[in-house]
């Protein structure tokens, strides 16, 4: 018997999702694209754009309707994220983290009280969401995290540092992972907490200056005797690593979708430029070397989208999809980076300047292979599932 069976759910896009895609495309053209290059240059957080996305009901896509969301699901979110990232990957990651890494774990693991208190505000965009797992000594080895939570009567006191937290200085709410049992094996002594960033002891540290995603914000967070009420423990005590990994299955579909958006932007820009740019008395699109690049970029894009939509449909159907999400992210992010590299090459010297958007796409693409698990960790997840 084969170790790996076919997993080929049908993933036709419904009329509702197609309409949503078109509406988001319009928002992207009108609200996001005109200011994307300037925001990138100025490192300007897209606060006004996030308000527009909230008005378009894009902040509660994984939140149940009973708690104010649209619950439209992971496939629709993937389609939306591809569109948003086509215009601006900084806006894309802010939206992806909010939906997949903050609203989703509260929806999936939260108590009724937690959901009632926080989900409606996340869905309306009153609160922006973030997710804090990574620490100086816990990157790929996230189970090695040290941020400590100590129980004192009816509350937990958190002390320690998180790094590279997307929207950490903009978020109103953050899912924070902390060590609650230092005697237990690494992954067994971690718990998740819902933290309001206005609470005393929550401090924002260094703001990262990044190569790409320059208008998204990435910061260090310090918890200094930060008191979290017991009712804000998310999921089971010492069951936080499960929350973290389940959440990343969804998040990885989000980053695969981000890769699709950047990839498609690279392809479109390359086709346009190849038809316009004349060398040796003809458009460079007439050269077979250019045609092959375009053909490979388009083929990779379709393959990446199919893997991504498959994983999204599986998650929507509550079918375990860690392997498929890792396959989608690893393939889509690498394909996106190949496409960004080829897009710059097709543009020649022009692609290396800020006069053309592929320079930004090239810088933005790089992160897709790093966050929410580097490519090697995706391979590890895939291999472990096959070799167990
Ligand atoms: C812009 C940005 C935004 C981010 N946003 C968030 C966020 O919102 N929340 C959050 O919690 N984190 C966030 N992160 C952190 C991100 O998830 C980590 O950077 C990522 O998981 C990798 O960890 P690391 O950077 O420590 O790399 P390391 O783990 O130190 O990896 C370094 C190198 O070693 C390799 N390596 C490590 N382990 C293995 C292994 N077992 N097998 C083979 N190779 C291995 C890696 O492939 C890589 O090449 C963000 C990071 C960035 C840059």
Residue nearest to atom 41 of ligand 1 (CA): 377
Ligand 1 atom nearest to 168, measured from its CA: 8
pLDDT computed for residue 365 by the predictor: 98
Ligand 1 centroid to residue 163 C-alpha, Å = 11
For residue 71, give the H/E element and its range: none
- Residue nearest atom 48 of ligand 1, based on CA coordinates: 374
Annotated catalytic residue, options 31, 135, 342, 372: 372
- Output the domain CATH number for residue 58: 1.10.540.10
345 lies in the same domain as 382: yes
Nearest-atom index, ligand 1, CA of 162: 11
Residue 10 is assigned to a structural domain of this protein: no
How many independent structural domains does the chain possess?
A: 3
Nearest to 91 by CA among 146, 143, 52, 140: 52
Among residues 238, 256, 277, the one where a domain terminates is 238
Given its phi and psi angles, is residue 94 left (phi above 0), alpha (psi -120 to 50 degrees) or beta?
Answer: alpha
Residue nearest to atom 25 of ligand 1 (CA): 139
Task: Assess contact for 303 and 331: CB atoms under 8 A.
Answer: yes
Q: Is residue 3 in some structural domain?
A: no
Active site residue 372: yes
Q: Are residues 231 and 102 in the same domain?
A: no
What pLDDT is attached to residue 12? 85
| Pocket lined around ligand 1, Cβ cut-off 6 Å | 97, 131-134, 139-140, 164-166, 210, 213, 218, 367, 370-374, 376, 380
For position 11, what pLDDT does the model report? Answer: 75
Distance from residue 138's CA to the centre of ligand 1 (Å): 8
For ligand 1, atom 30: residue with the closest CA? 139
Single out the residue of 252, 245, 225 nearest to residue 145, CA to CA: 245
Give Cα separations from 223 to 185, 189, 202, 277 (angstroms): 23, 18, 5, 54
Distance 252 CA to ligand 1 centre (A): 13
Evaluate whether residue 152 is within a structural domain: yes
Which one of 238, 271, 286 terminates a domain? 238
**How far is the first Cα of the chain from the last one, in angstroms, to the nearest whole number?**
15
Q: Is residue 6 part of a domain?
A: no
Q: How much distance in Å is there from the Cα of 15 to the middle of ligand 1? A: 38
Residues 117 and 99: their CA atoms lie apart, in Å, by: 16
| Atom of ligand 1 lying closest to residue 376 CA | 47
Verify that 219 and 264 share a domain, yes or no: no
Largest CA distance in the chain: 79
Helical residues (DSSP H) of the chain, grouped into ranges:
15-27, 33-42, 47-55, 74-87, 89-96, 104-109, 112-124, 240-276, 288-316, 322-347, 358-365, 375-387
Q: For residue 4, is it within any domain?
A: no
Whether the Cβ atoms of residue 90 and residue 365 lie closer than 8 Å to each other: no
145: its two tokens: 């995290």
DSSP state of 221: E
> Can you tell me the distance from the alpha carbon of 30 to that of 202, in angstroms, rounded to the nearest whole number?
36
Residues 38, 62, single domain; the answer is yes
Locate the ligand 1 atom nearest the alpha carbon of residue 208 and give its number.
1
Atom of ligand 1 nearest to the CA of 166: 8
Most ligand 1 atoms within 8 A of CB, residue of 97, 193, 374, 380 to mutate: 374
Pair 173, 271 in one domain: no
Residue nearest to atom 31 of ligand 1 (CA): 140
Closest CA to 339 of 375, 371, 295: 295
Cβ atoms within 10 Å of 139's Cβ, excluding its own? 18
CA 282 to chain centre: 41
- Whether residue 5 is contained in a domain is answered as no
CATH of residue 263's domain is 1.20.140.10
Provide the pLDDT for residue 6: 73
Q: Atom 42, ligand 1: which residue's CA is nearest?
A: 376
Distance CA 309, CA 74 (A): 9
Q: Are residues 301 and 380 in the same domain?
A: yes
User: Does one domain contain both 82 and 180?
Assistant: no
The SS3 of residue 32 is helix
Residues 270 and 340 in one domain: yes
Residue 185 maps to which CATH number? 2.40.110.10
Q: Are 301 and 314 members of one domain? A: yes
- Give CA–CA dist 175/342, Å, rounded: 38
Burial of 232 (0-12, 13-18, 19+ CB in 10 A): buried
Question: Ligand 1: which of 214, 251, 333, 371 to mutate, judged by most atoms within 8 Å of the beta carbon?
Answer: 371
Domain hosting 73: range is 15-128
Ligand 1 centroid to residue 35 C-alpha, Å: 30
Q: Give the residue whose CA is nearest to atom 11 of ligand 1.
A: 133
Instruction: Return d(Cα 180, Cα 150) in angstroms, integer.
Output: 6
**For residue 196, is it within any domain?**
yes
Please state, in angstroms and rounded to a whole number, the distance separating the CA atoms of residues 309 and 315.
Answer: 10
Structure tokens at 234: 């998310």
Query: Which residue minimizes the CA distance to atom 29 of ligand 1?
Result: 140
Q: Rounded to the nearest whole angstrom, what is the distance from the C-alpha of residue 97 to the centroid of ligand 1?
A: 16
1: in domain: no
Asked if residue 176 and residue 59 are part of one domain, the reply reads no
Residue 249 sits in the same domain as residue 228: no
Both 286 and 377 in a single domain? yes
Render each residue's pLDDT in the chain as its tens digit; 388 residues.
677 777 777 778 999 999 999 999 999 999 999 999 999 999 999 999 999 999 999 999 999 999 999 999 999 999 999 999 999 999 999 999 999 999 999 999 999 999 999 999 999 999 999 999 999 999 999 999 999 999 999 999 999 999 999 999 999 999 999 999 999 999 999 999 999 999 999 999 999 999 999 999 999 999 999 999 999 999 999 999 999 999 999 999 999 999 999 999 999 999 999 999 999 999 999 999 999 999 999 999 999 999 999 999 999 999 999 999 999 999 999 999 999 999 999 999 999 999 999 999 999 999 999 999 999 999 999 999 999 8
Q: Which of 205, 238, 271 is the last residue of a domain?
A: 238
pTM: 0.97
CA 69 to centroid of ligand 1, rounded, Å: 31
Say how many Å lie between the CA of residue 190 and the centre of ligand 1. 19
Give 3-state DSSP helix, strand, coil % of the chain, rounded to 5: 55, 15, 25
From 164, 209, 365, mutation site for ligand 1 pocket: most ligand atoms within 8 A of C-beta = 164
């Amino acid at each position: 018997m084969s170790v790996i069976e076919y997993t080929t759910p049908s993933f036709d896009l419904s009329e509702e999702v197609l309409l949503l895609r078109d509406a988001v495309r319009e928002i992207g053209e009108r609200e996001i694209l005109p200011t994307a290059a300037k925001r990138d240059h100025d490192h300007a957080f897209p606060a006004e754009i996030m308000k527009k996305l909230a008005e378009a009901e894009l902040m509660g896509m994984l939140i149940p309707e009973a708690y104010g969301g649209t619950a439209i699901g992971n496939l629709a979110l993937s389609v939306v994220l591809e569109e948003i990232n086509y215009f601006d990957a900084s806006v894309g990651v802010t939206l992806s983290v909010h939906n997949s890494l903050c609203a989703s774990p509260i929806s999936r693991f939260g108590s009724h009280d937690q959901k009632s208190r926080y989900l409606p505000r996340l869905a309306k965009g009153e609160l922006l969401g973030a997710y804090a797992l990574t620490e100086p000594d816990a990157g790929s080895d996230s189970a090695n995290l040290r941020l400590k939570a100590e129980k004192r009567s009816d509350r937990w006191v958190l002390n320690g540092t998180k790094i590279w937290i997307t929207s950490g200085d903009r978020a109103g709410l953050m899912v924070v992972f902390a060590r609650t049992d230092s005697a237990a094996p690494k992954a067994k002594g971690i718990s998740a907490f819902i933290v309001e960033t206005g609470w005393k002891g929550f401090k924002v540290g260094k703001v990262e200056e990044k190569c790409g995603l320059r208008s998204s914000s990435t910061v260090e967070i310090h918890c200094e005797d930060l008191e979290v009420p017991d009712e804000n423990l998310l999921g089971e005590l010492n069951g936080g690593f499960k929350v973290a990994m389940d959440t990343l299955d969804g998040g990885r579909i989000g980053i695969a979708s981000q890769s699709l958006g950047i990839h498609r932007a690279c392809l479109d820009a390359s086709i346009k430029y190849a038809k316009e740019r004349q060398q040796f008395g003809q458009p460079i699109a007439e050269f077979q070397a250019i045609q092959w690049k375009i053909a490979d970029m388009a083929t990779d894009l379709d393959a990446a989208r199919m893997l991504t939509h498959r994983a999204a449909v599986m998650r929507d159907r509550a079918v375990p999809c860690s392997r498929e999400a890792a396959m989608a992210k690893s393939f889509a992010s690498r394909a996106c980076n190949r496409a960004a590299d080829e897009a710059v090459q097709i543009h020649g010297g022009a692609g290396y300047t800020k006069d053309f958007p592929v320079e930004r796409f090239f810088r933005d693409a790089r992160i897709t292979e790093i966050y929410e698990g580097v490519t090697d960790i995706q391979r590890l997840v895939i291999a472990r599932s096959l070799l167990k």
